[in-house]
Amino acid sequence: MSKLRLAIVGAGPAGIYAADILLKHERSFDVSIDLFERLPAPYGLVRYGVAPDHPRIKGIVTALREVLDTGQIRLFGNVNYGTDITLDDLKKHYHAVIFSTGAITDQNLQLPGVELEGSYGAADFVSWYDGHPDVPRTWPLEAKEVAVIGNGNVALDVARMLAKHPEDLLPTEVPDNVYEGLQSSPVTDVHVFGRRGPMQVKFTPLELRELGEMRDVDIIVHDEDFALDESSQRAIESNKQLFVINKIFNQWRERETGSASRRLHLHFFAKPAEILGEGEVSGFRYERTMPDGAGGVTGTGEMREVSVQAVYRAVGYFGTPLPGIPFDSRHGVIPNHEGQVIDDDNRIVPGVYATGWIKRGPVGLIGHTKSDAMETVQHLVKDQASWWSPEHPEEQSVSALLESRDVQFTDLSGWHRLDAEELARGAARGRERVKVVERSEMMAAARPEAH
């Protein structure tokens, strides 16, 4: 074979890294890669899943941009897999497909009261404050006291965005509607609840340190949570990250509090028991836990309550099924063997691959995404004998197909125009960037000739 025509569905880090790794791979054939993305802009959760005040994200975006700007990958934005283009279409135009659609919905949390008004999934709130085009422009920020369930990076992002003074977000690319919404928030207290102890947290030292740097926000920790057992002490001694996390907590325990207008409370050994309220959230009940000696916790039977008017559930993301592709509904992933998609009978599905969170679940950071993509790409290259045999592998045939269906797709030049528009909006106000939020405005910037 002289050329591999590859489709990648999902233009977040997982999809872009897979394309980059394949282009750099030592192989005996040429490669032509088309990247499909349902939104008009690429970068996935780096653009729409991380709080806007994370400076390190800029470095990741720069790396992703460099891959796209090599000119070796075609981008088809605003194209929805399953409707605008189907699996049958892909088989007619490509030799194989990699799905890198991520995990964008909230993991389910079975908890009494979870359906009350004022109980929210963190993923929806993150999409709102990141200006995702598919969520409403407003968010009900009416609570003075808020609970956040979870001890991962997303939980800390949500807590920080709720507790932080909105004007301190202005140097970031926070969308206008989000800044205005947060300005109207009456919040005074944000409570973060983790089932296990402070040495079993899932967030990083960087995330934790950012909490303590917020202006006019007291961080409240409780001494009873820091009577560490032997297992925790060993973890501190053997794990550099936990050593730093413990040091940060101990510094906070020494701080004077009481002068700030807002407070962020960290509660450990707190297992969620019930969201309280009649019709709407009025409180949060949890069971006090204790170390079980093996790194886990066991219940004590002691129940406690905190008065809150909103609860955010940040217990993890979950993948979404894709038409025509096997799906593990228990784990929220495409079932696979090292990236090779497998069917219900545990047989490898020819030509179909997965990478990123839709492959392994919502765990790991950017480094994991790269090694994950490498594994998938290595299998794809070795599987040449079982690739599809497309009827129309010509590159122009895909554009013609989408145009025949009146799909208003954006290309790399369109993304560059949208990117320039966001930078221009920022420059006009002395900011680096102001994100365009409405899909219609994104499309008008990307495809001015069509508007």
Q: Tell me: the pLDDT tens digits for 29-69?
A: 899 999 999 999 999 989 999 888 886 777 888 999 999 99
| Residue with token string 């993509």 | 373
Share of the chain above pLDDT 70, in %: 98
Q: What CATH number did the domain enclosing 121 receive?
A: 3.50.50.60
Residue 238, pLDDT above cutoff 90: yes
Q: What is the pLDDT of residue 294?
A: 78
Per the document, the length of the chain is: 451
How many folded domains does the chain comprise? 2
Q: How many CB atoms lie within 10 A of CB 69?
A: 12
State the average pLDDT over residues 62-81. Answer: 95
Q: What is the pLDDT of residue 451?
A: 62
Same domain assignment for residues 236 and 377: no
Q: Which helix (H) or strand (E) holds 57?
A: helix 56-68
Average pLDDT, the chain: 94
- Which pLDDT tens digit goes with each residue over 306-323? 999 999 999 989 999 999
What CA–CA distance (Å, rounded) separates 160 from 181?
15
Whether residue 414 is contained in a domain is answered as no
Q: What is the pLDDT of residue 360?
A: 94
Same domain assignment for residues 301 and 338: no
Angle of the 13-24 helix axis to the 366-382 helix axis, nearest 10:
50
Structure tokens at 209: 């340190």
Q: What is the pLDDT of residue 203?
A: 86
Query: What three-state secondary structure class fits 348?
Result: strand
Q: What is the pLDDT of residue 248?
A: 96
- Which pLDDT tens digit goes with each residue over 148-188? 999 988 999 999 999 999 999 998 889 999 999 999 999 99
Whether residue 53 is contained in a domain is answered as yes
State the average pLDDT over residues 87-97. Answer: 98
State the average pLDDT over residues 406-411. Answer: 96
Q: What is the pLDDT of residue 59?
A: 83
| Beta bridge pairs of residue 245 | none
Residue 395, pLDDT above cutoff 90: yes
Whether residue 421 is contained in a domain is answered as no
**CA–centroid distance for 277 within its chain:** 30
What CA–CA distance (Å, rounded) separates 192 from 186?
18
| Beta bridge pairs of residue 220 | 265
Q: What is the DSSP string of 359-382?
A: HH-S---HHHHHHHHHHHHHHHHH
State the average pLDDT over residues 13-31. Answer: 93
Whether residue 75 is contained in a domain is answered as yes
Same domain assignment for residues 87 and 230: no
What CA–CA distance (Å, rounded) separates 252 from 262?
16
- The separation between the first and the last C-alpha atoms of the chain, rounded to the nearest angstrom, is 42
CA torsion angle 437 439 440 445 (round to 10): 70
- Greatest Cα pair distance, the chain, in angstroms, is 71
Whether residue 50 is contained in a domain is answered as yes
> Which of the listed residues 302, 317, 332 is the one where a domain comes to its end?
317
Residue 2, pLDDT above cutoff 70: no
Residue 192, pLDDT above cutoff 70: yes
Domain, as residue range, for 255: 107-317
Q: What is the pLDDT of residue 262?
A: 98
Same domain assignment for residues 298 and 349: no
Which range among 138-147, 227-236, 355-364 has the greatest average pLDDT?
Answer: 138-147
Whether residue 432 is contained in a domain is answered as no
Same domain assignment for residues 313 and 326: no
Q: What is the pLDDT of residue 27?
A: 86
Residue 1, pLDDT above cutoff 60: no
Whether residue 450 is contained in a domain is answered as no
Same domain assignment for residues 184 and 208: yes
Residue 435, pLDDT above cutoff 80: yes
Q: What CATH number did the domain enclosing 394 receive?
A: 3.40.50.720
Q: How many CB atoms lie within 10 A of CB 253?
A: 13
Q: What is the pLDDT of residue 282?
A: 98
Q: How many CB atoms lie within 10 A of CB 204?
A: 16
Same domain assignment for residues 248 and 381: no
Same domain assignment for residues 87 and 139: no
- Which pLDDT tens digit goes with each residue over 130-143? 999 999 999 999 99
Whether residue 387 is contained in a domain is answered as yes
Same domain assignment for residues 125 and 269: yes
Q: How many CB atoms lie within 10 A of CB 375?
A: 16
Q: b/e map of 99-115 (b: 16 or more CB within 10 Å)?
A: bbbbbbebbebebebbe
Q: What is the pLDDT of residue 55?
A: 67
Structure tokens at 240: 């550099």
E strands of 111-216, at which residues? 119-121, 145-149, 189-193
Structure tokens at 307: 């008065």
Cα-trace Rg, the chain: 23
The percent helix, strand, coil of the chain (3-state, each to 5) is 35, 25, 40
Same domain assignment for residues 258 and 124: yes
State the average pLDDT over residues 422-446. Answer: 94
Same domain assignment for residues 163 and 244: yes
What CA–CA distance (Å, rounded) separates 191 from 265?
5
Same domain assignment for residues 144 and 291: yes
Q: What is the pLDDT of residue 12?
A: 95
